[in-house]
A and B are shown apart, each in its own frame.
Chain A
Amino acid sequence: MHAIVCIKQVPDTTDVKVNPETGTLIREGVPSIVNPFDTYAIEEALRLREKFGGKVTVISMGPPQAKEALKEAIAMGADEAILLSDRAFAGSDTWATAYTLANAIRKIGDFDIILCGKQAIDGDTGQVGPGIARQLDIEQLTYVFKIQEIDFQAKRIRVERLLEEGREVVETRLPALLTVVKDINQPRYPTIMGIRRATRTEIPVWTAADLPDAKPELLGLKGSPTQVVRVFNPPPRSGQIVMIEGESPQEQAAKLADLLLKEKVI
């Protein structure tokens, strides 16, 4: 079994501030973390390896410092890590990012499953995972809550997806790309033995030159069809507070339920 996990290094949002003029995140001086949703993807890959044997490879595209995120994945137990880092990749939107990662995955070669977090907490688009699947022309299973069954011999997988209106069970063939939600597992901490291995692991850095099949005009800013026209803060929500009076909590609850029904909220 070979699982590839795509991860992103993101600013720790508990510390991040927004530039009031440009509306963009101030990333300078903010500590970086592994995108929390990606840690669930790493954990799921490690669990598959524990069950079926094989290998977990983690890849990331980003500046040289994104190695830290990859080292954390190795400290958790991943076998190998590759960083895609080149000035030519800078300014990539979700399309160019998916294109670049897909090219790297093709170069890695054989794999059975690709795992991603459902979205990154900085961009919040949720597009890169599905983009990679389309670029590689494999099945995509988004918002996976549980892998119900997986058979690497028969190349079948059945998962439960967490949707807004409920759960959906989907079965498809492998290889497939999964994006996972946080309910899928509880990620482990790195162990000290893992940390020792991580600090001694040299992480290979692939540049555009290492991806000869990737067309230069499709990389980075040049390869990004998305144009950000304007960034702005949405107007603050307005509304009024109504205190529900009543003799007892039961009576108050009943009044609240009536109001919600009237407003068609429930």
Chain B
Amino acid sequence: MDFALSEEHLMVQKMVREFAEREIAPTVKENDRKHTFDRSILPKMAAQGILGICIPVRYGGAGMDYISLGLTCEELERVDTSARVIMSVHVGLNSLGLLQWGTEEQKQKYLVPQAMGQKIATYGLTEPAAGSDVLGIQSTARREGDHWILNGEKMWISLADVADHFLIFAWTDMEKKRARDHTGMSAFIVERGWPGLETGTIHGKLGVRAGNTGFISMTDVPVPAENMLGLEGEGFRIAMSCLDNGRYTVAAGATGLIRACLEASVKYANERQTFGVPIGQHQLVQQMIANMVLKYEAARLLYLRAGWLKNQGIRNTRETGLAKWFATQSSFESADDAVEIHGAYGYSDEYDVERYLRNSKGAVIYEGSKEIQQLMQAQYALGYRSDKPLRCELPAYDPEEWQREA
């Protein structure tokens, strides 16, 4: 058993921490107030290698392991949730899906520019009337010659108005759609600019206002047959396997948000005086601080274990889901306590904790709500659920293989 991070992990962690503090922190409050997604962060993240951190070098990535991806998400969300969201959709939900399921041609055409950060990618599963109920999606694709024709609407899609590449899930078998048989669903790689594809931004969100969230509307979008990811009918399994990676980034990010709450609360509790003493001296404040410490450390262990399983090439749907559920719910509770500790000041955007509270709530809901996570954990425990091997598993991390140039 070894809990130590490697020298490489520590250097990545330090670099991303400094990057986030210098490049993101100074403008986050302003961008959040103005509901502005700052695109200029993308080329900066690309230059650092962050946007392809755990993708093999021969596919344009930086060749680091899955733990490094988690540490990066923790450091980014400690400063700003919207920066971590970029990692969740671009790397977790899309690029790792291509790495796991893509053909060599698809990897060369789409994964390489994504890992280098030249193209930004997102993932379109959720629809206006279907989130947790994945089989309830209405998007369809019908075959016409050497193309698939996509129709439908995707909603609550992070980076919808920013991304160049979209991983879209749709029914390809209408019989199975009616029967709610998941083997009738398929996955497609879609590019911005193709006829019939439009995107837009959703306004009025509670949190992650410095991030871009929107919709994708598809009207008879022609998709070349070679852009189907995986086999026909594999879409549902691909969607779920992508979530194993997306949820991992969300868990790691939420862990960073707990740390942000803890750091802000400790600082304030040492400065603010009431009844003649710093408020840190009050036992009920201490209780809230202690809870944050517990939640931070437990969340961290849970996501790092999931990352370790990924490195080993061991299926981790249960462990990743557990980390995601615990970390996001804990980040919400910690942000709530952090606002409480800051009192009236915490209620204003003069301090960061009100933003932490607003930002924490989304992740409790998206990528598998806490209710879905609880059902899954109960079903594993009760023996109702088990994970069958996939045709394509996420490859285990092999440093030599990852860092091979060609």
Contact = CB atoms under 8 A, between A and B. Distances in A.
A pairs with B:
yes
Most-contacted residue by chain B among A72, A191, A193 (CB, 10 A): A193
A191 B57 CA distance: 14
Contact of A193 (B18, B49, B68): B49
A198 interface: yes
Given A189-B19, A192-B62, A71 B11 contact: yes
B367 to A, nearest CB: 25
Contacts of A205: none
B11 A195 contact: yes
Interface in B30-69: 47-50, 53, 62-64, 68
A75 B19 CA distance: 14
A194 to B, nearest CB: 8
Nearest to A190: B15
Given A196-B63, A196-B64, A196-B403, A191 B7 contact: no
A217 to B, nearest CB: 37
Nearest to B54: A192
Nearest to A76: B15
B64 A192 contact: yes
A72 B15 CA distance: 10
A199 interface: yes
Interface string B365-406: 000000000000000000000000000000000000001000
A122 B63 CA distance: 37
A189 B11 contact: no
Contact of B62 (A75, A196, A199): A196
Nearest to B402: A196
A195 B11 CA distance: 7
Interface string B1-45: 000001110011001001100100000000000000000000000
Contacts of B8: 195-196, 199
A191 B49 contact: yes
Nearest to B49: A192
Interface residues of B, number: 19
A189 B18 CA distance: 8
Nearest to A33: B14
Interface in B48-94: 48-50, 53, 62-64, 68
Contacts of A72: 11
Nearest to A31: B14
Interface string A139-182: 00000000000000000000000000000000000000000000
Contacts of B6: 199
Contact of B48 (A191, A198, A199): A191
Given A196-B62, A196-B64, A191 B47 contact: yes
A136 B316 CA distance: 60
Nearest to A193: B49
A71 B62 CA distance: 17
Contacts of B12: 192, 195
B403 A195 contact: no
B100 to A, nearest CB: 21
B403 A192 contact: no
Interface in A184-232: 189-193, 195-196, 198-199
A31 to B, nearest CB: 10
Nearest to B11: A195
A189 B19 CA distance: 7
A48 B146 CA distance: 53
Contact of A199 (B7, B22, B49, B53): B7
B11 A190 contact: yes
A228 B62 CA distance: 49
Contacts of A199: 6-8, 11
B11 A198 contact: yes
Contacts of B68: 192
A35 B172 CA distance: 60
A25 to B, nearest CB: 22
A75 B48 CA distance: 11
Contacts of A190: 11, 15
A190 B12 CA distance: 9
- Identify which of A71, A190, A195 gathers the most chain B CB atoms within 10 Å of its CB: A195
A195 B47 CA distance: 13
Contacts of B63: 196
Most buried by B among A75, A192, A195: A192
Nearest to B18: A189
B43 to A, nearest CB: 13
A195 B403 CA distance: 13
Interface in A39-59: none
A198 B9 CA distance: 12
B7 A192 contact: no
Interface string B209-230: 0000000000000000000000
A57 to B, nearest CB: 20
Contacts of B19: 189
A75 to B, nearest CB: 6
Given A196-B62, A199-B8, A189 B15 contact: yes
21 contacts: A71-B7, A71-B11, A189-B18, A189-B19, A190-B11, A190-B15, A191-B47, A191-B48, A191-B62, A192-B12, A192-B48, A192-B64, A193-B49, A193-B62, A195-B11, A195-B12, A195-B15, A196-B8, A196-B63, A199-B7, A199-B8
Q: Which 3 pairs of residues, A with B, have the shortest CB-CB distance?
A: A192-B49, A192-B62, A195-B11
Interface of B: 6-8, 11-12, 15, 18-19, 22, 47-50, 53, 62-64, 68, 403
Given A71-B7, A189-B18, 8 more contacts: A71-B11, A189-B22, A191-B15, A192-B15, A192-B62, A192-B68, A195-B11, A195-B15
